[in-house]
Structure 1
Amino acid sequence: MTNGSLFAQTKKDSISVAEDSLPRLDIDPLTPAKAAFYSAILPGLGQAYNKKYWKIPLVYGAIGTSMYFYIDNNKKYHDVRDAYKRRLEGYNDDDFEYLDDDRLIAAQKFYQRNRDLSALFVVGFYVLNIIDANVDAALIQFNVNDRLSFKPNVYTNDVTFKPNVALTFNYNF
């Protein structure tokens, strides 16, 4: 023993310390905010930041389809509205000669409603894109490996021989 310390050791003794075999994953609390910010700047960029590349076509498909219907319904709304305005001025040379004035008004309402719904879907899918990137970035940081399991278990009761259902939580060291 040297210098009277409680933890002193001689040259013959050795101390071995067991280390964890899993690498330590550092948690970055700003990762979800970064992913949401990237998705807000450019839809799909947050999914690329999270390395979920398969979601990018879904984001652009949803937003693009909604945008297509918005543009199409907006064009049809303006065409019908312009034809109705020309009818009020006394002209009958529009593309909707087969429709009377009441039908033109109904068509305007129809296309306006569909245009507004399409705009709502564009905004909804844009916001959903940001939320998905944020939630996915937060969930990536959870420890999910083979050593941790949670599964249902069915076993037979030894006394009544009836099947019992249980949930088991296992952590292997």
Structure 2
Amino acid sequence: MKVKLLNILFLIAATTAFAQDVDTVAVQKDSVIVSEKKNAIVVKDTVLDKTPYNPLAPSKAAFYSAVVPGLGQAYNKKYWKIPIVYAGMATGVYFYLKNDDDYNRFRDAYKRRLAGFSDDEFQGISTERLIDAQRNAKKNKDYSIVAVVLVYMLNIIDANVDAHLQQYNVTEDLSLSPSFEVNPINIQANYGLSFRFKL
């Protein structure tokens, strides 16, 4: 029943994500040039810049990353991030399998000691230490699962934010940059921020 409900919700979410149209924004840029001669010449240059604006690009990128990790980064054309996503997830899976193997080894040795055998692979280690080793291995397994889930979630968030930022218009007209000057009187460094606004 839960699986059917999940499939229905997934189908509804997928159909609504692709039901919208792409908007286009037309930006009109005017530039006026005035010469300094007697007869002032005014040249009006109008450029119609059609840049497609897709309001669903962030949700598509997040959806693609949720279905297949790294697919949202490919949708955003940030291919260099895909190996990072898979390396992070593979590292978590590797440590999960390693800690699961260690946990099973400690558990089997502990069970053999409870059954009265003393021929396990941990001869010089006490029973209390085997119990502690089991707890640590189980805790590390849980941390590995959390790490995989975190990398998966960061993959989705990164695809969404990157798609948002690709549509953001960054110009040089407004800038905030650090400035560094040396005071000539006392030879001390002055740090600050310079705010520039170009017309």
1:116-162 Cα offsets, whole Å, 9 max, x none, are 111110100100000000100111001124x53414486x9xxxxxx
Distance change (3 Å), C-alpha of 1:48 and 1:86? same
Contact 1:36 1:134 in 2 (8 A): yes
Task: Give the alignment of 1:16-165 within 5 angstroms.
Answer: 18-20=45-47, 23-145=49-171, 147-152=172-177
SS at match of 1:168: strand
Distance 1:79 1:148 in 2: 64
The structure where strand makes up a greater share of residues is 2
Distance change (3 Å), C-alpha of 1:101 and 1:29? same
- The amino acid that maps onto 1:76 is D
Q: Which ranges in structure 2 are unaligned for 5 or more consecutive residues?
A: 1-42, 182-189
Equivalenced residue count is 147
User: In the alignment, what sits opposite 1:9?
Assistant: none
Distance 2:94 2:178 in 1: 50
CA RMSD of aligned residues (A): 2.3
Distance 1:126 1:44 in 2: 9
- The amino acid that maps onto 2:67 is I
User: In the alignment, what sits opposite 2:16?
Assistant: none
Percent identity over the alignment is 48
Contact 1:67 1:119 in 2 (8 A): yes
Distance 1:122 1:169 in 2: 44
Distance 2:84 2:193 in 1: 39
User: In the alignment, what sits opposite 2:196?
Assistant: 168
Distance 2:95 2:178 in 1: 50
Structure with bigger gyration radius:
1
Q: CA deviation at 1:25?
A: 1.1
Contact 1:153 1:168 in 2 (8 A): no
Contact 2:173 2:196 in 1 (8 A): no
